[in-house]
Chain A
Amino acid sequence: AQSVAQPEDQVNVAEGNPLTVKCTYSVSGNPYLFWYVQYPNRGLQFLLKYITGDNLVKGSYGFEAEFNKSQTSFHLKKPSALVSDSALYFCAVSPYNNAGNMLTFGGGTRLMVKP
């Protein structure tokens, strides 16, 4: 069975500084990897995904993520954080051959960007 680990419950960063939210995964075969963001009292919003191809994936709101197969990681990054980026971030994985397209989510990382 697949699993996702987000080792940091919370990440604090100053506005304008780069940010990284970490994610490692375990899955049989090639993975589909996703990042979602959740703002207070809202549903999850899709940020970006890795299916195949370039290891660096660019997504919404200036976010990007780097797929590292040898380290089984998919860390979320942004060069310059905004206060409005403060939210809960979830990493998710799906096996390549998952007929139901089911996702396994990590526990989430709260990002706090301070002015």
Chain B
Amino acid sequence: NAGVTQTPKFRILKIGQSMTLQCTQDMNHNYMYWYRQDPGMGLKLIYYSVGAGITDKGEVPNGYNVSRSTTEDFPLRLELAAPSQTSVYFCASSPVGNEQFFGPGTRLTVL
């Protein structure tokens, strides 16, 4: 049982490039989330999903897109990367009405 896994661990992008952050969970959780954590700050919700085929915006969705074609996977797409998207990105999952389980994070730098 690997829990929540994220790839890559680190990435450097140039302004305007695109990339997909991968997130997979093997706990059969219905709910999945993407957060960003800026230096010295708390977590801000980007997008979330309550099940396969269902996604919704969180607090800071601009510049990002998500899809949820399976229960296990919840990729986050960055289009036209900007320096403001430099952050650490965390994926999480949870069963209904319970605590969230977090992945190890992806550290992204946009130059």
Whether the pair A103, B31 counts as a contact (CB closer than 8 A) is no
The residue of chain A having its C-beta at the shortest distance from the C-beta of B4 within the complex is A43
Whether the pair B99, A102 counts as a contact (CB closer than 8 A) is no
Query: How many residues of chain A get a CB closer than 8 Å to chain B's CBs?
Result: 20
Whether the pair B41, A103 counts as a contact (CB closer than 8 A) is no
Question: Which chain A residues in 71-111 approach chain B with CB under 8 Å?
Answer: 90, 99-103, 105-108
Once the chains are docked, how many angstroms separate the CA of A107 from the CA of B38? Answer: 10
Whether the pair B103, A100 counts as a contact (CB closer than 8 A) is no
**Interface magnitude class on chain B:** 20 to 34
Once the chains are docked, how many angstroms separate the CA of A93 from the CA of B42? Answer: 13
Determine how close the nearest CB of chain A comes to the CB of B1; give it in whole angstroms: 15
Whether the pair A43, B42 counts as a contact (CB closer than 8 A) is no
Q: Which residues of A contact B41 (CB under 8 A)?
A: 107-108
Whether the pair A102, B90 counts as a contact (CB closer than 8 A) is no
Determine how close the nearest CB of chain A comes to the CB of B70; give it in whole angstroms: 19
Given contacts A100-B31, A102-B48, contact A46 B42 (CB under 8 A): no
Determine whether A25 belongs to the interface, using a CB cutoff of 8 Å to chain B: no
Q: Which residues of B contact A42 (CB under 8 A)?
A: 104-105
Whether the pair B104, A101 counts as a contact (CB closer than 8 A) is no
Given contacts A43-B103, A44-B102, contact A101 B90 (CB under 8 A): no
Determine whether B58 belongs to the interface, using a CB cutoff of 8 Å to chain A: yes
Whether the pair A101, B42 counts as a contact (CB closer than 8 A) is no
**What is the 8 Å Cβ interface bit string for chain A, positions 36-75, against chain B (1 contact, 0 not)?**
1000011111100100000000000000000000000000
10 CB < 8 A contacts A-B: A43-B90, A43-B105, A44-B43, A44-B100, A44-B102, A45-B102, A49-B99, A101-B94, A105-B42, A108-B40
Interface, chain B (partner A; CB < 8 A): 4, 31, 33, 40-43, 45, 48, 50, 56, 58, 90, 92, 94, 96-105
